[in-house]
Amino acid sequence: MEQFLFSTSWFVPFYSLSGAILTLPWGIGIIRRTGPRPAAYFNLLTTVLAFVHSLFLFKSIWDREPVNLLINWFKAADLDLSFSLELSPVSIGATVLITGLSLLAQVYSLGYMEKDWSLARFFGLLGFFEAALSGLAISDSLFLSYALLEVLTLSTYLLVGFWYAQPLVVTAARDAFWTKRVGDLLLLMAVVTLSTLAGSLNFSDLYEWAQTANLSPMTSTLLGLALIAGPAGKCAQFPLHLWLDEAMEGPNPASVMRNSLVVAGGAYLLYRFQPLLALSPVALNALVVMGTVTAIGATLVSIAQIDIKRSLSHSTSAYMGLVFLAVGLQQGGVALMLLLSHAIAKALLFMSSGSVILTTQSQDLTEMGGLWSRMPATTTAFVVGSAGMVTVLPLGSFWAMLAWADGFVNISPWVIGVLLLVNGLTALNLTRVFRLVFWGKPQQKTRRTPEVAWQMALPMVILTVLTLLLPLMLQQWYLLPDWESINWYVALALFGSTFVGVGVGCTVHLHKAWSRSRILAWRFLQDLLGYDFYIDRVYYVTVVSAVALLSKISAWSDRYLVDGLVNLVGFATIFGGQTLKYSISGQSQGYMLTILAVVSVLGFFISWSLGLLDKLPF
């Protein structure tokens, strides 16, 4: 049975892909009489099969060494195109997480997208999305991983632009696509370079090559920075971070997948790059700087947002910044624990926010309030998800940050300062959102808001239980420290930052009558954070203006230099032809004499230039 599971493990991504293909007759309108629901059920069935297969495979491989599966795709002469898959507890565990959260997101979508006319197309895109993520999890080939990242970029574009009749949605999808393309293009350069230097693109071969590689500092630095660029675009890291909040214009179930799994997929690929990034200290320092700037900056920006989804999306960028910081400090185990705890908690937070958006028909925090008594399941989900995001004992994020801080308490104390600051500001932001949405007096849009249907409530309840049971799962996997080895000073500092953040979030004045402060200094600070430090305007003044100037210079050169030279040649030809036509006599002896004279003159000059005339006796 185990051998059968291993031999068919490559088919796990194809479950979701087959589900997406089965939705095509409904998605393109061939079948209309039954409505789009059967397409959703087909996709749900294939996701259940993928989840069950991954779960049994994870149970079989937990106590075993990683297994590499080589699939020969095409072989002719010296050309050998093959895909390598890695079956390990980490990769299969990632597949279980992807298929499990995807299954819950699809059940959630049945309620959220119930009245949408293109439900079949949405489920087909979700299946396409899930297939790419599952393939990325088990891929042991850099070439295959890059191809799947491109599929994720396309999937993001299609899901963000799902409601394409809205101009803002089209703009958000375009910006998300082009921003990711910048990172993907640099990553492609790294892939081509590695294929030349290492001779193979399988991660196992690349790791062996990295142990003995002797690269120049310039080559290793450029290679490391190019490898970082791809995950930076996927994880919305500075300076490729502007797309994630705009991507919140898509349907909320897609936002659940994007903020919990897609960004984690980019960070997981960065985790696989660790041995290659170790070749360049500059690349590791760039990771540390990028992660620190994004973690602190995105957390500050999230506090000033009045859109509930944008506030949570900036928090996603911040936690992915912590993952980048962990990888830059060579703490891969901490990065994986952060990814696991963040994915579950953030999926729960976005499901609860989606329930609020569906019932209130609004994303504006200033229009909400008093929902805790009307939506108890949603309120519980938000509270538990918030607790799972910050360091609250004994939930998952607490143990990940404790293990990280405990290891750097004496080596790099500034890391603990970053963790405390990001954790405290995150607790403040989540407390602020809770007060605006669930606490206080009901507003006009929240006075008659019922709890959501069971299709949306059931995934939230399951994720709530899973968030609470995550510490027991970590203990079962021997990932929690012993009580005797815990540094209680660091633990109290982490818990204290959460307590301070919640305390400040509970006491700060939140007036819903106006969304901007009347005090000029506070208004300037609020605008600075609310508009993301005006990074988009900085891009417009620098990058966009430079590209526009270069395009104008290119257009002028093309019009007046290139086209001008071509037009000059054409004008000279026309003028010469018009001039010569007046010398036409119609007498052939005249033409022959002219040809003979010209040939004689050309022969004379050629002979003179070659020195043949010097040998004549006269």
Cβ neighbours around 190 below 10 Å, total: 22
Question: pLDDT tens for residues 305-349?
Answer: 888 888 888 888 888 898 888 888 888 888 888 888 888 899 999
Report the pLDDT averaged over residues 350-371.
Answer: 86
- DSSP assignment string, 382-423: HHHHHHHHTT-TTSHHHHHHHHHHHHHTTT-HHHHHHHHHHH
Same domain, 554 and 595: no
Tokens describing residue 408 = 């750097």
Task: Indicate if the pLDDT at residue 464 is higher than 80.
Answer: yes
Same domain, 498 and 569: no
Same domain, 342 and 264: yes
Same domain, 133 and 151: no
Q: Which of 478, 557, 518 is nearest to 62 (CA)?
A: 478
Mark 480-490 as b/e (b = at least 16 C-beta within 10 Å): beeeeeeeeeb
Confidence category of residue 473, pLDDT binned at 50, 70, 90: confident
pLDDT at 407: 66
Same domain, 511 and 559: no
pLDDT at 76: 66
Same domain, 344 and 228: yes
Report the pLDDT averaged over residues 8-28.
Answer: 84
Q: Percent helix, strand, coil in the chain (nearest 5)?
A: 75, 5, 20
Question: pLDDT tens for residues 515-563?
Answer: 566 777 777 887 788 777 888 788 888 888 888 888 888 888 888 777 7
Question: pLDDT tens for residues 425-445?
Answer: 999 999 999 988 888 787 777
Task: Indicate if the pLDDT at residue 208 is higher than 60.
Answer: yes
More confident residue, 157 or 28: 157
Task: Indicate if the pLDDT at residue 460 is higher than 60.
Answer: yes
The one-letter code for the residue type at 107 is: V
Same domain, 57 and 101: yes
pLDDT at 586: 64
Same domain, 130 and 162: no
Residues of the chain above pLDDT 70, percent: 92
Q: What are phi and psi of 162, to 5 degrees?
A: -60, -45
The number of folded domains in the chain is 4
Report the pLDDT averaged over residues 444-461.
Answer: 83
Same domain, 580 and 598: no
CA–CA dist 369, 438 (Å, integer):
5
Cβ neighbours around 525 below 10 Å, total: 14
pLDDT at 430: 92
C-alpha distance from residue 254 to each of 158, 159, 163, 383 (Å):
10, 7, 12, 22
CA–CA dist 23, 43 (Å, integer):
7
Write the CB contacts of 508 (distance below 8 Å, at least 6 apart in sequence).
428, 432
More confident residue, 92 or 443: 92
Report the pLDDT averaged over residues 417-425.
Answer: 89
Q: Is the peptide bond before 413 cis (omega within 30 degrees of 0)?
A: no
Q: Which of 577, 398, 598 is nearest to 492 (CA)?
A: 398
* Mean residue pLDDT across the chain: 83
CA–CA dist 358, 571 (Å, integer):
68
Q: Is the peptide bond before 459 cis (omega within 30 degrees of 0)?
A: no
Question: pLDDT tens for residues 585-604?
Answer: 666 676 677 778 878 888 87
Report the pLDDT averaged over residues 201-228.
Answer: 86
Report the pLDDT averaged over residues 70-77.
Answer: 71
pLDDT at 409: 62
pLDDT at 382: 92
Confidence category of residue 200, pLDDT binned at 50, 70, 90: confident
Same domain, 107 and 239: no
**Within 161-216, where are the H helices?**
167-197, 203-212
Report the pLDDT averaged over residues 142-162.
Answer: 87
For 121-158, give the secondary structure using H, E and C: HHHHHHHHHHHHHHHHHHECEHHHHHHHHHHHHHHHHH
Range of the domain at 603: 590-618
pLDDT at 425: 92
Cβ neighbours around 599 below 10 Å, total: 10
Same domain, 316 and 198: yes
Mark 57-80 as b/e (b = at least 16 C-beta within 10 Å): bbebbeeeeeeeeeeeeeeeeeee
Residues of the chain above pLDDT 90, percent: 6
Task: Indicate if the pLDDT at residue 413 is higher than 80.
Answer: no
Same domain, 540 and 525: no
